[in-house]
């Protein structure tokens, strides 16, 4: 990972790794949908992932989230 996750990006990663929608992320984090979309884009970029599933897998490889967390549904 080139850049560390900052701000609420670790929370965003954990929630997207369990399959939460962007709308649910916004609700749970008390932020706007636009903020979530920006944060998800940043997380994907920092992890070098093309999508949420790749981001979750990469985060597991890097030890950023536990291996026991379920993969998001496709």
C-alpha distances out from residue 5 to 38, 54, 73, 74, Å: 13, 16, 23, 24
In a domain, residue 38? The reply is: yes
Asked, for residue 2, whether it belongs to a domain, the answer is no
Average pLDDT, the chain: 90
Is residue 52 in a domain?
yes
The answer to whether position 66 is within a domain reads no
Q: What pTM was computed for the model?
A: 0.84
Q: Is 70 among the domain residues?
A: no
pLDDT digits (tens, 9 = 90+) for 49-74: 999 999 999 999 999 988 765 555 55
- How many domains would you assign to the chain? 1
Q: What percentage of the chain carries pLDDT values higher than 70? A: 89
Q: Is the dihedral of CA 45, 51, 65, 33 positive or negative?
A: positive
For residue 53, what are the domain limits?
A: 9-61
Cα of 53 vs its chain's centroid, Å: 9
In CATH, what number is assigned to the domain containing residue 37? 1.10.10.10
- pLDDT for position 66: 83
């Amino acid at each position: 990972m080139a850049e560390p996750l900052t701000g609420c990006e670790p929370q965003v990663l954990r929630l997207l790794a369990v399959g939460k929608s962007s709308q649910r992320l916004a609700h749970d984090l008390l932020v706007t949908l636009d903020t979530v979309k920006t944060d998800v884009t940043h997380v994907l970029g920092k992890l070098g992932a093309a999508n949420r599933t790749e981001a979750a897998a990469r985060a597991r490889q890097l030890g950023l989230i536990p291996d026991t967390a379920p993969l998001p549904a496709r």
